Structure 1
């Protein structure tokens, strides 16, 4: 007997999406998309020519959130999804496209030497001049997504250190401001 669920999945309109922040965690992505996303994970992927940065402050989350910035010497690790087209609007809402915070950018990513072209990712439109620290919740969901998705261990450590240093800088600034007041 033919499994119609598999047949439907193969024939539906889809798009590739490269996640590098909190959306790397399929459990967190499910919150916004309204359905389980584990089945849509293609695997860990690399975006060359970009680096991560927290050049956006999100009022809803009350912290800095991730962005990718063009940098020919760097690369960003993340998760490649193959999502049904019907989830595109919900993903845009999660990324605040309608508010003008993020926009689509079409990129190429690789997974174990295989190149995927015209993959959607999101980039901040109006980047801040300095990075904002993530809060503990965002820190944890990004790191959980990176680790559980199988990103390279050294990349996960670098991501942890970057977020931790931003938090420590923010804490030192607040202490200095409090002492000066």
Structure 2
């Protein structure tokens, strides 16, 4: 119950007067009714003050040039580690000509990605990009460990379509993911894992116009 109260309060910070929400947070925290992981109280205040939210990216939005196409306010906060999930692929993407990335609950495993800070007005753009209205992905709140060992609440997305027979991503899609992983300093072992993922060989044109040379 306390955990649900904390999540609801953090969510409310996105939309309600910052000073009021932060004051309530401090009162509840000091009284012991509401507890936060390390740095989370500061995070609540910051999110309220700047009218923004955190987003955990693990796919093509690892790459700055890609996320800025639809979400120009995105600012990198930290490399993030999502525990008890694994990276997987499912649902053929017309945009990328192969299966799209998703996260699947898997105790003991983990997914590395990037924690971005976005303006609240970009949430609609992000949901549209992820096909929430088409019931391809669903948004979910996850607890992500940052490089400093702190934990933050972030928005992420998970595919909800039935499993398909061919779940291989395209070469060009994996290239974008790997470029983003390298650019943001994800662990070397994780980058090697990304490079080992079987793709379908497609390296042609896609809907996303990114300006860099292909391998």
TM-score relative to the length of structure 2? 0.67
Does residue 13 (structure 1) correspond to residue 46 (structure 2)? The answer is no
| Residue in structure 2 matched with residue 177 of structure 1 by the alignment | none
Runs of 4+ aligned structure 1 residues displaced above 2 Å come to 9-12, 165-168
**What's the C-alpha RMSD, in Å, of the aligned pairs?**
1.9
Higher strand share: 1
Does residue 147 (structure 1) correspond to residue 182 (structure 2)? The answer is yes
One of 70, 84, 107 as aligned partner of 2:105: 70
After superposition, the C-alpha distances for 1:104-137 in whole angstroms (9 at most, x for unaligned) are 11110001310112x1100001141555222222
After superposition, the C-alpha distances for 1:27-57 in whole angstroms (9 at most, x for unaligned) are 1111122x263xx100100000100011221
| Residue in structure 2 matched with residue 6 of structure 1 by the alignment | none
Higher helix share: 1
**Which runs of 5 or more residues in structure 2 are unaligned?**
1-46, 203-215
Tell me how far apart the structure 2 counterparts of residues 131 and 54 of structure 1 sit (CA, whole Å): 9
Counterparts in 2 of 1:114-129, with a 5 A limit?
Answer: 114-117=150-153, 119-129=154-164
Using CA pairs under 8 Å that are at least 6 residues apart, name the structure with larger relative contact order, 1 or 2.
1
Deviation at 1:10, TM superposition (A): 8.0
- Are the aligned partners of 2:73 and 2:118 in contact in 1 as well (CA < 8 Å)? no
Tell me how far apart the structure 2 counterparts of residues 42 and 105 of structure 1 sit (CA, whole Å): 19
**Which runs of 5 or more residues in structure 1 are unaligned?**
1-8, 171-181
- Are the aligned partners of 2:73 and 2:119 in contact in 1 as well (CA < 8 Å)? no
Count the aligned residue pairs.
Answer: 155
| Residue in structure 1 matched with residue 122 of structure 2 by the alignment | 87
- Are the aligned partners of 1:56 and 1:67 in contact in 2 as well (CA < 8 Å)? no
Distance 1:91 1:123, change over 3 A: same
Tell me how far apart the structure 1 counterparts of residues 177 and 165 of structure 2 sit (CA, whole Å): 20
Distance 1:107 1:36, change over 3 A: closer
For the residue of structure 2 that corresponds to 1:89, the secondary structure is: helix
